[in-house]
Structure 1
Amino acid sequence: MPKFLNTSATTYYLEELIKGARERLILISPFLKLNDRIRELLEDKNRMKIDIRIVYGKSELHPDEINWLKNLDFVRTSFCKNLHAKCYMNEEACIITSLNLYEFSQVNNNEMGIYLSREEDGQVFRDAYDEAQRLIRVSDEVRIALEKVPQKAGAVDEVEPSGDEAEAGAAGFEKLTTAKLATRVGITTAEAFERLVTHGLLELKGTHHYLTEKGKEAGGSFHRGGRGFYFLWPEALVI
């Protein structure tokens, strides 16, 4: 069942949540300002090629922090207007709290939070994940130089991930790569792409596929891996 967290417990569980991420990490906080410990943990997750999404409503980064983030290939940032939620989650746990990511909040404020486990609090965890995904969908993804990414930035030929990346797609939140989705349906990967385009989940321009708004609403997502780029889809997606 959910655990209540006070200030010190929230800080502890947040650090453990980041350290425990094996496939993906979602950090939603109004202020994009990170203390040294959080930066150290994110650097480690980046080395492990963990998919990291940071959603924020206001940036207070200094130039050196912007340069630091620019060097993290697996961290993507999104700006969400009127964001006030604070939610941090990996593939197995979630914290909903009053705690911001910046250091002042962790040192000086009195905070509260709730810790959710995917295993023990399945439906609530899923509801929190779905809302986090909605916030990601309605946010504007920005480059680390804080320039807005064009809507069609997902244009690439998919390269099927290997090893841990493929397992992350399958195990993280019941997501499958396009090739594994095709295998489940009993068709070729090329046929799967054709059907995804036919259903409006992908858009083909030239030789490149783009994730559409309909595809995002259906739970599709675009990812950057060690070998290239790929899409992930809900296991139950009907094509």
Structure 2
Amino acid sequence: MARFLNTSATNYFLEELIKNAKERLVLISPFLKLNDRIKELLIDKDRLKIDVRIVYGKSELQPEEIRWLNELAYVRTSFRKNLHAKCYMNEELCIISSLNLYEFSQVNNNEMGVLIERGSDAELYKDAYEEAQRIIRISEEVRISLERVNNDAEKDEDGSEEEKTTKLTSSKLGQRYKLKAAEFLDKMVELGYLELNSGKHQLTKKGVDVGGELKVSPKFGAYFLWPEDITL
């Protein structure tokens, strides 16, 4: 039977829902802003190879946070405009609540929610799950939208155009070698094209020399581009 949740209960069961996910985790929230606790939980799910889907309508992440998020191999993020639903679920529990993901653990706010247990409310859980899957299907997956980038032709000082080159993101190029995005970045560190500084990837001189670029998208934050003919 569905259970009513007040503010503190919503925060408690949301954390338990994330921690206890064994097969899948779906987080649907209009606003995406990750505090340290959420980051810890997502890192743990990624380490355990749990399939995590995050759907949001507006991101307040900083570029370095988006880069960090994109490097989690089992966490996929999707954007959906006009998103107002707030739904969090694993394979056994579902919370439908007024709580935005960025408000997690902010107990000053007054929130209400409903906890649905698959074991005792199978039909209700199924309805919520199917609607969550529909929202995921109609959302734009962030990594897909960044997979391929064609550089615009640039002009030299004499006005002549340089030859157009095609570059791919780390995620797309990694697919060619059957590597997850995080594994591909580890390989680039091993080859000396990237280095880790305080846990963040940075281009090295060697990486720049082979054509690597750091780009910042207003919508998606920072990411790396590489020549599509680069060899590992």
Q: Same fold (TM over 0.5)?
A: yes
Summarize the Cα distance change of 1:126–1:16 in structure 2 as closer, same or farther, 3 Å threshold.
same
For residue 58 of structure 1, give the secondary structure of its aligned residue in structure 2: strand
The yes-or-no answer on 1:23 pairing with 2:23 is yes
User: Does 2:82 correspond to 1:86?
Assistant: no
Q: CA deviation at 1:105?
A: 7.4
| Unaligned 5+ runs, structure 2 | 149-171, 179-232
1:66-92 deviation per Cα after TM superposition (whole angstroms, max 9, x unaligned): 122122100000001100000000000
2:136 match:
136
User: Runs of 5+ in structure 1 lacking a partner?
Assistant: 160-239
Aligned to 1:164: none
Q: What secondary structure is seen at the aligned counterpart in 2 of 1:107? A: coil
Aligned positions of 1:18-167 closer than 5 A: 18-103=18-103, 106-143=106-143, 147-148=145-146
Name the structure 2 match of 1:8: 8
Matched residue of 1:106: which SS?
Answer: coil
Partners of 1:15 and 1:149 lie apart in 2 by 32
Aligned residue number for residue 205 of structure 1: none
1:5–1:113: 8 Å Cα contact kept in structure 2?
A: yes
Aligned partners of 1:99 and 1:105 also within 8 Å:
no
**Residues matched between the structures, number:** 152
Deviation above 2 Å: which 4+ runs of structure 1? 103-108, 146-150
Mark the CA change 1:81 to 1:117 in structure 2 (over 3 Å): closer, same or farther: same
Residues 35, 101 of structure 1: 8 Å contact kept: no
Matched position secondary structure for 1:114:
strand
> What's the CA shift for 1:148?
4.5
Q: Hey, what's the Cα distance between the residues in 2 that align with 1:120 and 1:90?
A: 15
- Does the 8 Å contact 1:31/1:59 carry over to 2? yes
Letter in 2 for 1:139: S
Residue 232 of structure 1 corresponds to none
Give the TM-score normalised by structure 1. 0.60
Over alpha carbons, which structure has the higher Rg? 2
Deviations 1:118-165 (A, max 9, x none): 11010000000000000001000012xx94558xx8xx8xx9xxxxxx
CA distance in 1, matches of 2:105, 2:60: 14
Aligned residue type for 2:11: T
1:108 Cα deviation (Å)?
2.9
95 and 33 in structure 1: CA distance in 2 versus 1, 3 angstrom threshold: same
Change (3 A) 1:109 1:133: same
Q: Structure 2 CA distance, aligned partners of 1:21 and 1:104?
A: 17
- Structure with more of its chain in strand, by fraction: 2
Alpha carbon RMSD of aligned pairs, Å?
Answer: 2.2
CA contact (8 A) 2:78 2:136 kept: yes
Deviation at 1:103, TM superposition (A): 3.7
